Every structure is written in structure tokens, then in C-alpha cells.
């Protein structure tokens, strides 16, 4: 490494952010750029650790440990320390088609498995990745690179989210004619409509990459739902291969008393309509507003956090976020050792903003909703809750038990359900006659991605279930490799 003692000499430093009470008044990204000298210092903290767990990309305890797309992290950390930015960008692009996305929205399992993190705060890998790709855009190093030769093979990709885009980029690079079908009015899937603009800017970040893909030859067909607007059987007739990247989009519901009341929405409906309104500059209609309302968000994770941040920008009256799990410890528990993903308490951007405005973290742990209360007009007015505890039953499985005497009634004119997803929507899979696994996902083995139809592959959340964006990139790239192998008999794709 360029600075063998850097991890001893320098402390972890993150870029500045706009103050929470300032940034909640707009939809702009709020992370500020870090000076180049500071970035080089942070790159110097990367150890010559011998076995860099940061890019292993394995699953431990059901969660990612290290980078699922195997980014060459120690290499580009060293290059940044030495000021070799273009070389660092080349290294980054070897494994990652879209570092500007992962550098913003990936939860950074790489940092959770950083060897330095055993005894000290880990290397700021995510921020360095973000800085490398943004330097590349600023310097004009990122330009369309269409393939020099076409194979004549046509591939359809259904879904333009993270898995679909990475598959499209790789298959186009291999020389195939790639058509991406997207049912929304803009391509990008989760990246366009599932993640709020202040977390991932659509005009400046998502659309600039989509423009590069189009210039390289990828064709996007929007407002087209395969199986409805475009017959499913035509996929097999008109294309030499198909890659399904439809995501896991069936939300988990909460069928308790009062669920039929108005003002109760799935989180993704709330987020999607809001982002569309921001892009269309139609903030007076067409979206679900939290303005002036008491908001209750049921569920945690990134989606719940995004609901918090969005509600604050609408100007909500109050926010309560119900978490059914216990509050994580401030440090790793003994049963959560390195290099597992660290299950520790932290406030994400939304909770930080809520705490700045209302004085406290909006999350209430070990709490569940038992009933929705409404008025005579059928509008939700309150959420009845109770505290819970987890106990093992005779078979050793954890079961939820309500704690008597802990009931509360929380005022609410807007309730958002952010409890995860159950799997892909089924009509297209039924129309194609694809085999499914026990969780209703498309049945296809990890690593070869082949479905029960020889020319059809599946990648991302529709195959593995709800997961991280970076796993979708991993699977999109992997499915592209296997699809290219199927079409050509050999492949040079990584």
C-alpha cells in the first residue's frame, strides 16, 4: 500500500452534509463533496491486510459480508491515495457498471467487513467509491462505448431496475441487440421511482447513465407491461433470449381491523407517486401528501426511512415509526461478530431529520399495530398499538407475544405500510409457465440463472426475493454472462 501506516495515523472522516432542518425544504441531494486531499488521506487508511474481506461478497447469517459485486476496493483505495484517479475509475468499472448508484444507496456491507473495523472505525469505502465515479463524470472520462461488432442476437430484458440495467449493459457490451421493457413511464425501476430524489437524484444521476446506455445501443420501451401491453408469448417468438428482472413488488399487507379505511397506503405507492410528482413538477396533485398530517409508518428498513424523509419534506405534523424488532445495541453483540453485517443502532438520514425537527428518533421498537380507527367518513384517524416481546416456543422458534397493559392509541391521518415484499407479481410468470420456488420467486439457481424455459433467465429480486441493490447488480451481471454463454457457446463476460 502507498501508506502502510495510514490506518494508524488517520481517523475516519466523512463528507459534510447540509443541516437536517435546511435540507428538508427541498428534494435535492444533501451530501457535500469532500476535498481531494481528505479523500487521499481516507484512502491511506486502507490496510495491507492480506485477506481483504471487503470484497469477498459472501453471505453470513443470511446477510451480505463484503461487496457482492467483488469491487477491487484495496486497489482503488491505493490508487486514490497516490492521486491516480483515472486508473481508480478503470478499476472500479471492472466490477461495477453503476458506481454512482451504489456509492449513494448501497448500505456498504464492504465497510461492515473491513479488517480495520475489527478494532477501529472502518475505511470510508462507500464515499471513496462515490468520489471516484463523480470525478470521472466531472472530467468527462465517462463516454458511450458501443460495441464494435454486433452478434445479430436479440435479447429482451423485462424490468429496468438494478438487475435489468446491469444485465442490459453487459449483454450490449457483448454485442447483442438489447431491448428493455419497462411498464412505468420512465426507465430505472427502483432506481427511478423506489428511491426518493434527495437520496438519488434522477435528472443529474440516473438519467445521465440511462442516456449513456441508449447511446451505446440499449433500447428502452416504456409504458409497456409485458403480459398486458406486449404479449408474453411474443418474448419467445421475437427474441433469442429473455432475462426477467421484474423485482419483488408484491407488498406485505397488514390485515387488521380498519384496514379498509382511507389514508392507509403501501409505502411504495406513496414513494413512487411522490417522485413522479417531483419529476413532473406537479406538486399540487397526483401524489399522496403528508402535509399537516400525523403520520404513522409501520415497518423499518430503507423503505421506512424514505417514508420518513419524504413526509418531512411534505410538511407533516408528526411522525411515529413502528418497529416490531428490538432496538439494536450501540456496539456489536457477542453473537454478531466481525465480519458479519453489524446489527447496531444508528439513525439514517430520515431519522436524523425527524429528530432535528421533533426532538427524538421517530422509531418505537417492539411495537405492533392492532387496529386502525376511523371517522364517520371512512378516513383513518388513529392507530392502536401494543408492545410485544419475542419468546421461543417448544420447537425453538421465536414467536411474537403481546404485552398486556402496554396498549396505546396514536393519532394518524396517514398510515404507510413499509413491511417488505412477498415476491414477484405472478401474471407474467403464469403466462410463460415458469416454475416457481416455495416463496413464489422464479425458480433458477444462483450462478446459472436458467429458468425452466431454456431461453429464459431470471435475476435480481424476482429470483432471490427482496434484497439489496448491490445483489441485484451482482445477479444482473451474472445472468448476462450465462445468457451470452447460451447464445454464443462461449463468453468473455466476467
Mean per-residue pLDDT pooled into runs of 10, the chain (494 residues): 88 96 97 94 92 92 92 96 97 97 96 95 97 97 97 98 98 98 97 96 97 98 97 96 98 98 98 94 78 97 96 98 96 94 96 98 98 98 97 88 97 98 97 97 97 97 96 98 98 96
What is the model's pLDDT at position 203? Answer: 93
Q: At what angle do helices 207-215 and 162-173 cross, to 10 degrees?
A: 30
What is the model's pLDDT at position 393? Answer: 87
Please give the backbone phi and psi of residue 235, each rounded to the nearest 5 degrees, phi first: -60, -45
What is the model's pLDDT at position 154? Answer: 98
- 118 burial class (0-12, 13-18, 19+ CB within 10 angstroms)? middle
Q: Going from the N-terminus, what domains does the chain have, and what CATH number goes with each?
A: 6-139 (1.10.1060.10), 154-249+422-488 (3.50.50.60), 264-417 (3.50.50.60)
436 close to 246: Cβ distance less than 8 angstroms: no
What is the model's pLDDT at position 285? Answer: 64
Q: What is the pTM of this model?
A: 0.95
Cβ-proximal residues to 235 (8 Å cutoff; 6+ apart), any chain: 156, 158, 226, 242, 432, 456
What is the model's pLDDT at position 283? Answer: 58
Three-class secondary structure of residue 232 per DSSP: helix
What is the model's pLDDT at position 286? Answer: 73
What is the model's pLDDT at position 284? Answer: 58
**Which residue, chain included where needed, has cell 416463496?**
439
- Within 10 angstroms of residue 231's Cβ, the number of other Cβ atoms is 13
331: left (phi over 0), alpha (psi -120 to 50) or beta: beta
What is the model's pLDDT at position 157? Answer: 98
What is the model's pLDDT at position 281? Answer: 84
Exposure string for 431-464, b = 16+ CB within 10 A, e = fewer: ebebebeeebbbbbeeeebbbebebbbbbbbbbb
63 membership: H or E segment, kind and range: strand 63-65
What is the model's pLDDT at position 214? Answer: 98
Amino acid at each position: 500500500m502507498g501508506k502502510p501506516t495510514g490506518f494508524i495515523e488517520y481517523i475516519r472522516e466523512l463528507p459534510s452534509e447540509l443541516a437536517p432542518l435546511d435540507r428538508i425544504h427541498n428534494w435535492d441531494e444533501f451530501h457535500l463533496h469532500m476535498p481531494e486531499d481528505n479523500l487521499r488521506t481516507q484512502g491511506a487508511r486502507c490496510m495491507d491486510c492480506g485477506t481483504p474481506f471487503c470484497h469477498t461478497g459472501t453471505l453470513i447469517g443470511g446477510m451480505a459480508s463484503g461487496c457482492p459485486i467483488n469491487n477491487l476496493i484495496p486497489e482503488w483505495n491505493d490508487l486514490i491515495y497516490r492521486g491516480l484517479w483515472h486508473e481508480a475509475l478503470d478499476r472500479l468499472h471492472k466490477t461495477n457498471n453503476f458506481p454512482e448508484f451504489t456509492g449513494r444507496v448501497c448500505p456498504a456491507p464492504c465497510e461492515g467487513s473491513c479488517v480495520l473495523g475489527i478494532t477501529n472505525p472502518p475505511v470510508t469505502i462507500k464515499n471513496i467509491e462515490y468520489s471516484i465515479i463523480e470525478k470521472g463524470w466531472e472530467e468527462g472520462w465517462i463516454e458511450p462505448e458501443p460495441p464494435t461488432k454486433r452478434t445479430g442476437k436479440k435479447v429482451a430484458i423485462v424490468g429496468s431496475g438494478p438487475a435489468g440495467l446491469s444485465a442490459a449493459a453487459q449483454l450490449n457490451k457483448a454485442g447483442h441487440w438489447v431491448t428493455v421493457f419497462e411498464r412505468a413511464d420512465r426507465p430505472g425501476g427502483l432506481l427511478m421511482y423506489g428511491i426518493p430524489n434527495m437520496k438519488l437524484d434522477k435528472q443529474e444521476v440516473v438519467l445521465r447513465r440511462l442516456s449513456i446506455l441508449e447511446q451505446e445501443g440499449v433500447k428502452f420501451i416504456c409504458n409497456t407491461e409485458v403480459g398486458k401491453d406486449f404479449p408474453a408469448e411474443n418474448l419467445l417468438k421475437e427474441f433469442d433470449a429473455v432475462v426477467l428482472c421484474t423485482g419483488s413488488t408484491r407488498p406485505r399487507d397488514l390485515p387488521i381491523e380498519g384496514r379498509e379505511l382511507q389514508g392507509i397506503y403501501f409505502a411504495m405507492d406513496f414513494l413512487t407517486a411522490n417522485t413522479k410528482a417531483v419529476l413532473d413538477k406537479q406538486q399540487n396533485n397526483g401524489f399522496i401528501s403528508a402535509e399537516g398530517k400525523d403520520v404513522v409508518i409501520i415497518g423499518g428498513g430503507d423503505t421506512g426511512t424514505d417514508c420518513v424523509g419524504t413526509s418531512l419534506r411534505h410538511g407533516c405534523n408528526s411522525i411515529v415509526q413502528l418497529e416490531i424488532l428490538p432496538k439494536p445495541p450501540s456496539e456489536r453483540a457477542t453473537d454478531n461478530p466481525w465480519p458479519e453485517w453489524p446489527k447496531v443502532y444508528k439513525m439514517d438520514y430520515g431519522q436524523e431529520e425527524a429528530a432535528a425537527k421533533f426532538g427524538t428518533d421517530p422509531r418505537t421498537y417492539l411495537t405492533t399495530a392492532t387496529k386502525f380507527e376511523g371517522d364517520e367518513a371512512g378516513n383513518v384517524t388513529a392507530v392502536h398499538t401494543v408492545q410485544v416481546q419475542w419468546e421461543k416456543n417448544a420447537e425453538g422458534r421465536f414467536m411474537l407475544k403481546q404485552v398486556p397493559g402496554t396498549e396505546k392509541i396514536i393519532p394518524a391521518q396517514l398510515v404507510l405500510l413499509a413491511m417488505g415484499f412477498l415476491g414477484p407479481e405472478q401474471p407474467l410468470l403464469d403466462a410463460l409457465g415458469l416454475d416457481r420456488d416455495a416463496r413464489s420467486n422464479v425458480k433458477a439457481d444462483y450462478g446459472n440463472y436458467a429458468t425452466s424455459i431454456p431461453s429464459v433467465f431470471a435475476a435480481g429480486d424476482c429470483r432471490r426475493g427482496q434484497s439489496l441493490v448491490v445483489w441485484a447488480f451482482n445477479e444482473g451481471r451474472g445472468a448476462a454472462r450465462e445468457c451470452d454463454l447460451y447464445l454464443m457457446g462461449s463468453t468473455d463476460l466476467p
